[in-house]
Chain A
Amino acid sequence: MTVLNFIVLLPILNALAIAFGAPARKSALLSAWTQLILTLFAIAGYNTAKGGYQFGSTWQVAPDWGIAFTLGADGLSLVMLLLTAVVTLAAVWATPRIEKRENLFFVCVLLISAGAAGAFASVDLFFFYAFHELALIPTFLLIGIWGHGERQVAAWKTTIYLAVGSIILLVGIAKLYLAFPVEARTFDLTVMQANRALIPADAQAGIYIWLLIGFGILISLFPFHSWAPLAYASAPTPAAMLHAGVLKKFGLYGLIRVALPLLPEGAKAWANLLLVLLVCNILYIGLVTIAQKRLDWMLGYSSVMHMGYAFLGIAAANVVGVTGAALLMLAHGLSIAALFAMCGHLRQTTPSLAFTSMGGLAKRAPFLGYAFGMAAFASIGLPGFANFASELMVFFGAWKTGGATLNFGPVQIATICALWGVVISAVYMLRAYRQMFQGEPHDNTAAVTDPACCTRWAVLILLAALLVGGLWPKSYVNFIQPSVEALFAK
């Protein structure tokens, strides 16, 4: 048993305890704190000089098929585990009072968190996939029972989309597994990585497209994105925070960890398609975001849009770009979680989240005014926040593809298009900020006050993690970069 086993299994055990009647909120908060402290321990105990996967533990499940319950973490996984732990804590902390079936609610929240942590800590492709699916039923229940607006439509749509994405991904994983010669077949990612030369180059494109579409649906890649804004707008606050903040990063993590290093030829074959789609993600969805009239929908669409940058980093397929994408996963997860936490607070206190029915909130709720402003700036990608550092790396990485000489190809064109995304995010975020927080206070917002202490701490902890990444990006990059270099090592 290593610290990773505890990080993955504790939330599950806690969920079980809550299901059997333990006090829900207290146990969940305790579980989230323990998860965060254990993750920090793991980060402190990680030997950066040695690198690679550490804290490994293996339990043979089906040796014939090469499936084992193998946990292990390198720098990249540790950063993702940190994201999971921080967002989980913030989500549990910021949960408003649950009127009905509190126990079931927290069981679902903890299972989502456990699924994400398990996926990020898995070295075995089979369990990596399986853990992600742990979140499917809890998501269905969270949106369906405690959601807002068209919650039932949202629950069905989300579930079906995610299920289809997963099954396509599963076929891709099966193809990848079978691409190896019989004696080298395994689900162990480290072994796959070592044996990747055995995958025939001409088979790679056929495998990569399944993985790209499967992961793409989970990440809300254009044109498979339409579930995401609806789900986030309808989900209860902690579910939206966890889903947009953490769970969605599973797909990107999978592309970085599995698809890109194992199938470099496949990535090349489909690079132009990915570039077109990601530009649609940034520009088209960006314009759709500007058109939104409600805060929750705007945040949902902005989260879809920002995935485009991460895809750009992956399309760059070099160390700088992918490191940037990984840092962006963390930065976006933290900032969108903070925004959704505050959106949830506003939902509680105002009759409508439409921009036109809010105004002058900064006077009524000064803390909210500051914090929302910071999170919005982070989301735009202003300097000082991790988002800035990561987007910069993504753009540099993408620009540099094709070698040291000045090269102008599809990736560079996509980069130029993507740069406009920054302008678009500035437009919608700043406009939203002006309409909501500045000007004359609107009658609808009479009941708005600053959030309770718990929610404030939740937002603060998310913002603090963002500022660390912005002011001192090396703190995260030092963990991410060696792992990414190892993935690209010849």
Chain B
Amino acid sequence: MQQLIPAITLEVAVLILGLLMLFAEAFSKRADRSHMAGYAIAVLLALIGYSFFTQSAPTELTGYWKFYAADATSLFFKRIALGTTVVVLVMAREYRHVLQKYIPGTEAGRGTGEFYCLPVFICAGLMFMASAVDFILIFVALELVTIGFYVLVAYMRRHTQSLEAGVKYLILGALSTGFLVYGITWIFGLTGQTNLIAVKVALMNGFGAPSASGAHEYGALIGNEGALLFGIMLIMIALGFKIAAAPFQLWVPDVYQGAPTPVTAFLSVGSKAAGFIVLVRVLDVFLAVPAVQGKVVALLVVLAVLTLLYGNLAAMPQDNLKRLFAYSSIAHAGYLLIACATLGTQPALAKEAISFYLAGYLVMTLLSFLILIIVARHSRGDEIHHFNGLGKRSPFLAAGMTLAIASLAGIPLTAGFLGKFLIFKTAVAAGQWTLIGIGIIGVAAGFYYYFKVLAAMYWREPGDATAIRISSLARASVVVLSVSIIILGIWPKPILDQLKDAPAAPGHLANH
């Protein structure tokens, strides 16, 4: 294969972009910073194109780059991170009028520069995370993302809800970080390694049968299953916070509702995707150890059942759309956890399902939040009744929202359906009938709460019949996202091709 540009240049480029934006924020003469978002969008779009020329190489076991994987899956997730950031910046631009009200200062647009700049740094963090195959890099990347979010969630300094959300997120985020580090130390203490591949080898040997040759690492860890499980549990708790799995979801509704809406969208997509990438990578290690595999799967099943039930059932009575999406995002984490629970028995199917589900989740969530931002700005509120009669006020936005809702609920010919189909398929293949039963209840509940939005848009009369004006950038984004929902739903081949010849598991070398 010809030598292409190494994938790490993508992260470097994003970081440089973020630094340049910081300079621009500090020295720019213009008070209104929204032009910064425009430049950043252009650069990030160019980087998505550029990513197709970067190298997709198998992971190295040794050397300086052993903490960094550049396989097809990680490249795919880098593109997801870039695409998400682009849409979030579009949203941030739409949101600037709301933002201004809650920022101290008299001049229009002053003090909003970081609101466009921090998402770029978070994007870099997400991209590093997509490639991280070492606990240290995972931790650092996760912190880059989380710290960026601490600032963004509380960005509206004069809005008490935003501040409250910021404090909640900060405290629980710090707590989960603590769990993660503590869990990593336990694993490190057992294996003496932080690299996932090396950890996997050490665990498999350590819990394997003692060899005749007397090599001391074989069977050395037998009897330490409890210590390993404790470490695994701590790491799972930390990741549970990130992906918003029950019972670690308590922060989600308040933070989602209080944070500026573009940040909510970013949290629900970016943070979740990152959490699942890491989860898949670490599960690949933990599930390879026969001594604990059954217990880890049981833990995942419990998490999935709780998350599905809590997310779907608690979403039903919600009247605030942002809050509803918060619960629905918990529910989607539940569906993804179904696939995670099958990673042990059906690794190929499950990874495909998770990747595809996340790609679909990205487009449909971003589309719904983008429309939410536009409508909320014109209706001055984000309750469901603010969507009343949207079908009359703006057929364009209503159609877009209908598509997003159809996809979120899982109606065929949309991206969301195909994702759900793949998840259920893996669950059937793995014989996880409990999860399938709970999943069916969840889907039925989902139809109820998602269709509440449809009912508001089409059944009810508008309270305020003024037409809604949409900027051309937002209009273009709505069109692009809507079209991608349908294309992903009826023609998944491009996505599948991107995931192909992926050395799917970071640990595939460990078998040699």
Query: Is B425's CB under 8 angstroms from A174's CB?
Result: yes
- Is A175 engaged at the interface, CB distance under 8 Å to the other chain? yes
Query: Is B406's CB under 8 angstroms from A137's CB?
Result: yes
A61-B491, A170-B421 known, 19 other contacts, Cβ within 8 Å: A61-B493, A62-B493, A101-B391, A104-B391, A129-B412, A130-B412, A131-B412, A133-B411, A137-B406, A137-B411, A144-B455, A156-B448, A156-B451, A163-B444, A163-B447, A164-B440, A167-B444, A168-B440, A174-B424
Query: Is A136's CB under 8 angstroms from B411's CB?
Result: yes
- What chain B residues lie within 8 Å of A60 (beta carbons)? 493
Query: Is A19's CB under 8 angstroms from B421's CB?
Result: no
Find residues 369-421 in chain B having any chain A CB closer than 8 Å to their own CB. 391-392, 395, 399, 402, 406, 409-413, 417, 421
Q: Is the interface of A mostly helix, strand, loop or mixed?
A: helix
- Is B436 engaged at the interface, CB distance under 8 Å to the other chain? yes
Q: How far is the CA of A63 from the CA of B402 in the complex (A)?
A: 29
How many interface residues does chain B have, given as a range? 20 to 34
Find residues 433-461 in chain B having any chain A CB closer than 8 Å to their own CB. 436, 440, 443-444, 447-448, 451, 454-455, 458-459
Q: How far is the CA of A214 from the CA of B23 in the complex (A)?
A: 60
- What chain A residues lie within 8 Å of B412 (beta carbons)? 129-131, 133-134
Find residues 291-311 in chain A having any chain B CB closer than 8 Å to their own CB. none
Question: Which residue of chain A is the closest to B352 with respect to CB atoms?
Answer: A64
Known interface pairs A60-B493, A160-B447, A160-B448. Does A171 touch B454 (Cβ–Cβ under 8 Å)? no
- Is A141 engaged at the interface, CB distance under 8 Å to the other chain? yes
Partner of A171, one of B391, B410, B440: B440
Question: Which residue of chain A is the closest to B436 with respect to CB atoms?
Answer: A171
Digit string of A52-81 for contact with B (CB within 8 Å is 1, else 0)?
000000001111100001000000000000
- Is B496 engaged at the interface, CB distance under 8 Å to the other chain? yes
Partner of A137, one of B410, B436, B440, B454: B454
Query: Is B424's CB under 8 angstroms from A140's CB?
Result: no
- What chain A residues lie within 8 Å of B448 (beta carbons)? 156, 160
Q: How far is the CA of A159 from the CA of B491 in the complex (A)?
A: 26
From residue A256, how far is it (CB to closest CB) to chain B in Å?
A: 21
Known interface pairs A130-B413, A137-B411. Does A159 touch B447 (Cβ–Cβ under 8 Å)? yes
- Is B492 engaged at the interface, CB distance under 8 Å to the other chain? yes
- Is B509 engaged at the interface, CB distance under 8 Å to the other chain? no
- What chain A residues lie within 8 Å of B496 (beta carbons)? 62, 64
From residue B447, how far is it (CB to closest CB) to chain A in Å?
A: 4
Sorted nearest first, the 6 A-B pairs with minimum C-beta distance are A130-B412, A163-B447, A133-B412, A174-B428, A174-B425, A144-B459
Q: How far is the CA of A152 from the CA of B460 in the complex (A)?
A: 11
- Is B108 engaged at the interface, CB distance under 8 Å to the other chain? no
Chain A CB within 10 A, most for which of B402, B410, B444: B444
Q: How far is the CA of A155 from the CA of B402 in the complex (A)?
A: 16
- What chain A residues lie within 8 Å of B490 (beta carbons)? 61, 69
- Is B46 engaged at the interface, CB distance under 8 Å to the other chain? no
Digit string of B320-362 for contact with A (CB within 8 Å is 1, else 0)?
0000000000000000000000000000000000000000000
From residue A196, how far is it (CB to closest CB) to chain B in Å?
A: 19
- Is A120 engaged at the interface, CB distance under 8 Å to the other chain? no
From residue A177, how far is it (CB to closest CB) to chain B in Å?
A: 7
From residue B495, how far is it (CB to closest CB) to chain A in Å?
A: 9
- Is A145 engaged at the interface, CB distance under 8 Å to the other chain? yes
Query: Is B424's CB under 8 angstroms from A141's CB?
Result: no
Please give the number of chain A residues whose Cβ is less than 8 angstroms from any Cβ of chain B in the complex. 35
From residue A152, how far is it (CB to closest CB) to chain B in Å?
A: 7
Q: How far is the CA of A129 from the CA of B417 in the complex (A)?
A: 11
Known interface pairs A130-B412, A134-B413, A137-B406. Does A171 touch B428 (Cβ–Cβ under 8 Å)? yes
Find residues 166-219 in chain A having any chain B CB closer than 8 Å to their own CB. 167-168, 170-171, 174-175, 177-178
Query: Is A177's CB under 8 angstroms from B399's CB?
Result: no
Find residues 467-498 in chain B having any chain A CB closer than 8 Å to their own CB. 490-493, 496
- Is B20 engaged at the interface, CB distance under 8 Å to the other chain? no
- What chain A residues lie within 8 Å of B421 (beta carbons)? 170, 174
Question: Which residue of chain A is the closest to B410 with respect to CB atoms?
Answer: A167
- What chain A residues lie within 8 Å of B409 (beta carbons)? 163
- What chain B residues lie within 8 Å of A178 (beta carbons)? 425, 428-429
From residue A398, how far is it (CB to closest CB) to chain B in Å?
A: 33
Write the residues of chain B forming the contact surface with A, with a CB cutoff of 8 angstroms: 391-392, 395, 399, 402, 406, 409-413, 417, 421, 424-425, 428-429, 436, 440, 443-444, 447-448, 451, 454-455, 458-459, 490-493, 496
Q: How far is the CA of A14 from the CA of B6 in the complex (A)?
A: 49
Q: How far is the CA of A160 from the CA of B491 in the complex (A)?
A: 27
Q: How far is the CA of A109 from the CA of B411 in the complex (A)?
A: 18
Question: Which residue of chain B is the closest to A133 with respect to CB atoms?
Answer: B412
Query: Is B428's CB under 8 angstroms from A144's CB?
Result: no
Q: Is the interface of B mostly helix, strand, loop or mixed?
A: helix
Q: How far is the CA of A178 from the CA of B447 in the complex (A)?
A: 27
Q: Can you report 21 A-B residue pairs in the complex whose CB atoms are below 8 A from each other?
A: A19-B399, A63-B493, A104-B391, A130-B413, A133-B417, A137-B411, A137-B454, A144-B458, A145-B458, A155-B455, A156-B451, A159-B447, A160-B444, A160-B447, A163-B409, A164-B440, A167-B410, A167-B443, A171-B428, A174-B421, A174-B429
Query: Is A163's CB under 8 angstroms from B458's CB?
Result: no
Query: Is B428's CB under 8 angstroms from A175's CB?
Result: yes
- What chain B residues lie within 8 Å of A171 (beta carbons)? 424, 428, 436, 440
From residue B408, how far is it (CB to closest CB) to chain A in Å?
A: 12
Question: Which residue of chain A is the closest to B439 with respect to CB atoms?
Answer: A167
Question: Which residue of chain A is the closest to B500 with respect to CB atoms?
Answer: A64
Query: Is A140's CB under 8 angstroms from B454's CB?
Result: yes
- What chain B residues lie within 8 Å of A155 (beta carbons)? 455
Question: Which residue of chain A is the closest to B423 with respect to CB atoms?
Answer: A174
From residue B423, how far is it (CB to closest CB) to chain A in Å?
A: 10
Partner of A104, one of B413, B458, B491: B458
Question: Which residue of chain A is the closest to B490 with respect to CB atoms?
Answer: A61
- What chain B residues lie within 8 Å of A19 (beta carbons)? 395, 399
Query: Is B458's CB under 8 angstroms from A167's CB?
Result: no
From residue A44, how far is it (CB to closest CB) to chain B in Å?
A: 31
Q: How far is the CA of A69 from the CA of B436 in the complex (A)?
A: 27
From residue B351, how far is it (CB to closest CB) to chain A in Å?
A: 13
Q: How far is the CA of A155 from the CA of B458 in the complex (A)?
A: 13
Known interface pairs A104-B458, A171-B424, A178-B425. Does A163 touch B443 (Cβ–Cβ under 8 Å)? yes
Q: How far is the CA of A60 from the CA of B412 in the complex (A)?
A: 17
Known interface pairs A101-B391, A167-B440. Does A61 touch B454 (Cβ–Cβ under 8 Å)? no
- What chain A residues lie within 8 Å of B402 (beta carbons)? 137
Chain A CB within 10 A, most for which of B413, B421, B440, B493: B421
From residue A181, how far is it (CB to closest CB) to chain B in Å?
A: 13
- What chain B residues lie within 8 Å of A101 (beta carbons)? 391-392
Q: How far is the CA of A170 from the CA of B418 in the complex (A)?
A: 11
- What chain B residues lie within 8 Å of A129 (beta carbons)? 412
Q: How far is the CA of A164 from the CA of B442 in the complex (A)?
A: 10
Query: Is A170's CB under 8 angstroms from B424's CB?
Result: yes
Chain A CB within 10 A, most for which of B392, B399, B447: B447
Digit string of A14-42 for contact with B (CB within 8 Å is 1, else 0)?
00000100000000000000000000000
Q: How far is the CA of A141 from the CA of B428 in the complex (A)?
A: 33
Q: How far is the CA of A145 from the CA of B454 in the complex (A)?
A: 11
Known interface pairs A140-B454, A141-B454. Does A164 touch B391 (Cβ–Cβ under 8 Å)? no
Digit string of A139-153 for contact with B (CB within 8 Å is 1, else 0)?
011001100000010
Query: Is A61's CB under 8 angstroms from B492's CB?
Result: yes
From residue B233, how far is it (CB to closest CB) to chain A in Å?
A: 31
From residue B227, how far is it (CB to closest CB) to chain A in Å?
A: 38
Question: Which residue of chain A is the closest to B447 with respect to CB atoms?
Answer: A163
Chain B CB within 10 A, most for which of A19, A60, A164, A174: A174
Q: How far is the CA of A152 from the CA of B448 in the complex (A)?
A: 12
Chain A CB within 10 A, most for which of B410, B428, B458, B490: B428
From residue A250, how far is it (CB to closest CB) to chain B in Å?
A: 13
Q: How far is the CA of A144 from the CA of B491 in the complex (A)?
A: 32
Known interface pairs A133-B411, A170-B421, A171-B428. Does A145 touch B459 (Cβ–Cβ under 8 Å)? yes
Question: Which residue of chain B is the closest to A108 with respect to CB atoms?
Answer: B458
Q: How far is the CA of A62 from the CA of B140 in the complex (A)?
A: 37
Q: How far is the CA of A111 from the CA of B379 in the complex (A)?
A: 31
Q: How far is the CA of A69 from the CA of B493 in the complex (A)?
A: 13
